[in-house]
Amino acid sequence: MEQFPNHELEYVVDDYYDITDFEDENDSPTIGSSSMDDDSADSDFEDDFEQNNPMTDTSALEVKKGKDIQGIPWERLNFTREEYRESRLKQYKNYESLSLCREDLEKDCKKVEKGHKFYDFQFNTRLVKSTIVHFQVINIDLGLVMKPLCFQSLLRGWLLSSFPVDRLFNVFIFSLLNSAGAIEDTFHMLRNLLWATSKHDVYLTQNYSVMHWSSMLRKSKEVINVAKPIVPTLNSPGSMAQTLSRVQISTMTVKDNLMVAGGFQGEVMCKYLNQPGVAFCTKVATDENAITNSVDVYHNPSGAMRVITANNDAQVRVLDGGNFSCLNRFTFPWSVNNISASPDGKLLAILGDSPECLLADAQSGKVVSNLKGHLDYSFASAWHPDGNILATGNQDTTCRLWDIRNLSESVHVLKGRMGAIRALRFTSDGRFLAMAEPADFVHVFDTRSDYAAGQEIDLFGEIAGISFSPDGDALFVGVSDRTYGSLLEFNRKSYDSYLSCFF
In 3D space, the residue among 469, 423, 36, 476 whose CA is nearest the CA of residue 225 turns out to be: 36
335 neighbors 376 (Cβ within 8 angstroms): no
* Distance, CA of 215 to CA of 200 (rounded, Å): 5
Ranges assigned E (strand) in 85-131:
119-125
Segments making up each domain of the chain, as ranges: 1-134+292-503, 135-187
pTM: 0.81
Tens of pLDDT, residue by residue, the chain (503 residues): 544 333 333 333 333 333 333 333 333 333 233 333 333 334 444 443 344 444 689 999 999 999 999 999 999 999 999 999 999 999 888 776 766 666 777 888 999 999 999 999 999 999 999 888 765 444 444 444 344 444 344 334 433 333 333 333 333 333 333 333 343 344 456 789 999 999 999 999 998 999 999 999 999 999 999 999 999 998 777 678 999 999 999 999 999 999 999 999 999 999 999 999 999 999 998 887 889 999 999 999 999 999 999 999 999 999 999 999 999 999 999 999 999 999 999 999 999 999 999 999 999 999 999 999 999 999 999 999 999 999 999 999 999 999 999 999 999 999 999 999 999 999 999 999 999 999 999 999 999 999 999 999 999 999 999 999 999 999 999 999 988 999 999 999 986 544 444 44
Side-chain-side CA neighbours of residue 450 (13 Å): 4
- The total of other beta-carbon atoms located within 10 Å of residue 51's CB is 22
Q: Under a CB-based contact definition with an 8 Å cutoff, are residues 387 and 401 in contact?
A: no
> What's the pLDDT at 472?
97
Assigned fold of 1-134+292-503? Methylamine Dehydrogenase; Chain H (2.130.10)
pLDDT at 440: 96
Q: Name 4's Cβ contacts closer than 8 Å, sequence gap at least 6.
A: 95, 185, 186, 188
Query: What pLDDT is stored for residue 252 in this prediction?
Result: 96
In DSSP terms, which residues pair with 220 in a beta bridge? 213
pLDDT at 100: 64
Amino acid at 54: P
Backbone angles phi, psi at 8, to 5 degrees: -65, -35
**Residue 200: how many other CB atoms lie within 10 Å:** 14
Give the separation between CA 226 and CA 472, rounded to whole angstroms: 30
**Cα–Cα distance, 475 to 199 (Å, whole number):** 8
* Strand pairing class (336-341; 280-283): unpaired
Start-to-end C-alpha separation, the chain: 44
Cα distance between residue 21 and residue 469, in whole Å: 40
Distances (CA, A) of 500 to 237, 430, 432, 476: 58, 25, 22, 22
Distance CA 119, CA 457 (A): 9
CB 210 within 8 A of CB 281: no
Is residue 12 classed exposed, middle or buried when 0-12, 13-18 and 19+ CB atoms within 10 A define those classes? Answer: middle
